Structures are given as C-alpha cells and as structure tokens.
Structure 1
Amino acid sequence: MNSARSRQALVVRGGWEGHSPVEATDRFIPFLEEHGFAVEVHDSPEVYADAERLAAIDLVVQCYTQGEATDEQVLGLSAAVANGTGLAGWHGGVCDSYRGSPDYLHLTGGQWAAHPGGFVEHEVVVAPDQADHELMTGLSPRWSLDTEQYWVLTDGLNEVLATTTFEPTDETPWSESVTCPAVWTRRWGSGRVFVSTIGHKLEDLDHPDVRTLTERGLLWASR
C-alpha cells in the first residue's frame, strides 16, 4: 500500500468579483491535482486563524482582492509561511488584499498602488540576471500585454524576476520612467512566497508565458 501523504493545497478566494476569483483559481486547481495535491477551497480568510490546519498545508493560493482579515488570521498565515507553508498568488488577489493589514503587506512584500490608464499595452521584461532562474528559464525575454499594468510598492527583500516600466507623458504627474517589479519571490522564514502582478483578465492567465510562470510559481512556493 502506498502510504505517501498527498501534498495539501489551500485555495482562499473571493473579495472583489472583478478579478473573477472562482474562475481564475479554477484554471489552476486541476493542475495542482495533477501534481499530487489534495485541494481545499475556502471563500474567506477565516481558515488562516486555524494554526493546526495551516500546519498541515503545503501551499496556500491566495486569490482574495481587497476584503478584510483580522490580525489573528493574518498573523496565523504569516506564522504558517515562516514554518514552511508556501504562499502564492497573482494580481490583486495577492498584492491588493487586506489593505488594512500592515502584517499582510509585510508578508507579501508588495502592495498595488495604481494601474494608470486602466487597460494599456505594455511589456513585462524578464530581469536579465534571472533568465536562468528555474521559474523563468525558457520563457520569452519580454511579453506584450494589453491589460492592467500594476504600479506596486515593494521592498528590497524580494527577488525580482520580471519588471514593467511606466513612461512619463505630458499628462502624467511623474516626469521620469518608473520601473516596478512585475513578478517576484520572497523567503519568509522557512517558507517561500511567489507573487505575479499579472492576471486581471482570465485571458491574461492564458498567455503562454504567464500560464507557465504561474504554474511554476505554485509548485516552487509549495513546501
């Protein structure tokens, strides 16, 4: 009899419906199951306060835009990641969550600030020194997208894998080019964090490079 334990994935999805949290995560749940995960889905962050449950989780997929989480819930998630549970997500489901929680921001290492112009044509560029990173190898060096371009505020603990640049115009309040991280990883204690800012539209997640990167990120972050 095979007594090997299946890896456990927890999907927390909800919040602002404009990011299609159910449909977006449903794109990746079969992929996780194919890679040996038993997947459990929750529609609120309440489970983050259950330390015993989180201790058994190998990967948390966070897809909950805006919303609120209590200090107990956020600190429970942060402690679980520090103890080895992986955390991964994309777009506002991970970097525009629980705006009232500094501890959540500290954990993820980045916060959405703006998406100037709404849907705009822009490029995401693989950081030259990360082209051989296990998450980036074989991907195109730059991707052209027509969707929300995320301006994020981040810190130096992140390992930036890809960037995007905002160019000034006569109408913008910024007068110089601004380059922001678009994809990053982060070590948090014994755990790994993967954040991609791409994914406002379901079609964004179907872009071949974005899809491959996101799937790799989920597996990379897992315990």
Structure 2
Amino acid sequence: MRSALIVRGGAEFHDPVGTTDSFLPFLKEQGFEVTVAEDLAVYDDRDLLAATDLVVNCWTAGGDELTPERAGNLDEAVRAGTGLAGWHGGIVAAFTERRYQWLTGAWFVCHPSNFVRHTLTVLPEHADHPITAGIDRVELDTERYWLLADPLNDVLATITFPVEDGEPWQEPVTHPAVWTRQWGAGRIFVSTVGHHLPDLDVPQIRTLTERGLVWAARR
C-alpha cells in the first residue's frame, strides 16, 4: 500500500476536518493507508515524511505557524519524491514561511468581493491532462483567489477578474487556479477552489481534486 499523510488544522472557517474527511474513502479506494495529523509537530519527523508517498496539507493560517525547520523538512521530503497536494487556503494561505511558499509555487493575497459567480477555465493545451481531461469550464459561486505565483508552475486552469466598480484594477486580470509543479523528484498539485465542502462537492471540482491527489503521489 502507498501512504498518505493528511495534515489539517488552523482556521475553522475552511472546515479542515470536514473537507479532508470527504476524501478519505477515495484515498483508501486508491490503495492509500492514511494517517491524519492535527499538529504541525508531524513535520518534525523527517523519517515519516521521507517514507510518505503523499502529503495533503489543509492548514489555513491561524494558531501554530510552520517553523523554518519544519518547512525545510517538508521541502527535503518533496525533493526526494514525496508528493504534496492541497486546495484553497489549506495550501496557499497556510504559512508565511518563505521556503513553504517557494515549495507550493504561490501565495494568497486576497479574494476580492468574497463569494462571486465566476468561471474556472481549463487551458486548451491541457485538455488531455490526466487531472483535467474531460473538464472544460466549471461555473462556481465562491471566493476567487488573487495570487502571487511562480512562473515555474504548470498552470492547468485559470479564473479571470473582470473590471469591477470600486476595484482598483483597470483591465481584466487572469490568475492561475489549478496547477502542478515538479520539485526535485516530487510532484505538487494545487487547486485554489475549495473554501468549504460545497465547493469540493461540485462534480468537476471533486473529480479534478481527486485526480490531483493521485497525480501528486509518489510513483
């Protein structure tokens, strides 16, 4: 069996327990033995991280902070082949530690206007990617993440902020919403969709997130 480690906690408004629990049956069906940690001290265990095939981080800023040493341990494990995956604030608004931000490839800045109807669009060149195959556009009513993003990311899907009354940008702005990245021998999957369980229960979002978890896991 492959192993998955779910690390969850922080701000409760992102429902770290409910959202991660919703993926447990799928992970087990895919042959993962799953360990759940609700304390960042798990990132002190370099041997555990090295032996883990997939880490799912679902910890939005709040409470404990990731220390430089713990960020370094996670980075070291991913470089050696451990996969890393997550969604929304649980992965890109998780920690201020810069090595962690470098690892994930982006940092959350804001979500203008909070919940807004918008469209997630899969880039045509990734229409056949194993994560997004068969998914073209997804209509959403949730937060839109404005990000600072790494050009190393392989962006699979985007969202666009149109010009809006009262907002400072003067032309439409497109931001990455789903991406992957290779980090040493490890793979990373990030989706910015998933504020709470209803977002993750949108069928196309559930599908691409499940696929992303499997894609990121160690081969």
* Aligned pair partner of 2:191 in 193, 196, 204: 196
In 1, the alpha carbon distance for the partners of 2:44 and 2:123 equals 36
Write out per-residue CA displacement over residues 33-66 of structure 1, whole angstroms, 9 at most, x where no aligned residue: 1111110000122111211111110000000001
Deviates more, 1:31-40 or 1:167-176: 167-176
In 2, the alpha carbon distance for the partners of 1:188 and 1:48 equals 18
**For residue 116 of structure 1, what is the amino acid of its counterpart?**
P
Match of 1:136 in 2: 132
Deviates more, 1:89-98 or 1:128-137: 128-137
Match of 1:175 in 2: 170
**For residue 21 of structure 1, what is the amino acid of its counterpart?**
P
Displacement of 1:201 in angstroms is 2.1
Displacement of 1:170 in angstroms is 3.2
Could you state the TM-score of these two structures normalised by the residue count of structure 1? 0.95
Write out per-residue CA displacement over residues 11-54 of structure 1, whole angstroms, 9 at most, x where no aligned residue: 00000000000000000011111111110000122111211111
1:88 aligns with 2:88: no
Match of 1:64 in 2: 59
Q: Provide the alpha-carbon RMSD of the alignment.
A: 0.8
* Aligned pair partner of 1:118 in 108, 114, 117: 114
Write out per-residue CA displacement over residues 140-161 of structure 1, whole angstroms, 9 at most, x where no aligned residue: x111100111111101110000
In 1, the alpha carbon distance for the partners of 2:164 and 2:20 equals 36
Displacement of 1:74 in angstroms is 0.5
* Aligned pair partner of 2:38 in 43, 52, 60: 43
Write out per-residue CA displacement over residues 43-94 of structure 1, whole angstroms, 9 at most, x where no aligned residue: 1221112111111100000000014111111100000000000000000000
In 2, the alpha carbon distance for the partners of 1:201 and 1:72 equals 30
- The percent of aligned pairs where both chains have the same amino acid is 56
In 1, the alpha carbon distance for the partners of 2:39 and 2:191 equals 21
Unaligned regions of 5+ residues in structure 1, if any?
Answer: 1-5
Match of 1:3 in 2: none
* Aligned pair partner of 1:76 in 69, 73, 90: 73
Number of residues paired by the alignment?
Answer: 216
In 1, the alpha carbon distance for the partners of 2:31 and 2:197 equals 24
In 2, the alpha carbon distance for the partners of 1:29 and 1:170 equals 42
In 2, the alpha carbon distance for the partners of 1:88 and 1:212 equals 14
Match of 2:161 in 1: 166
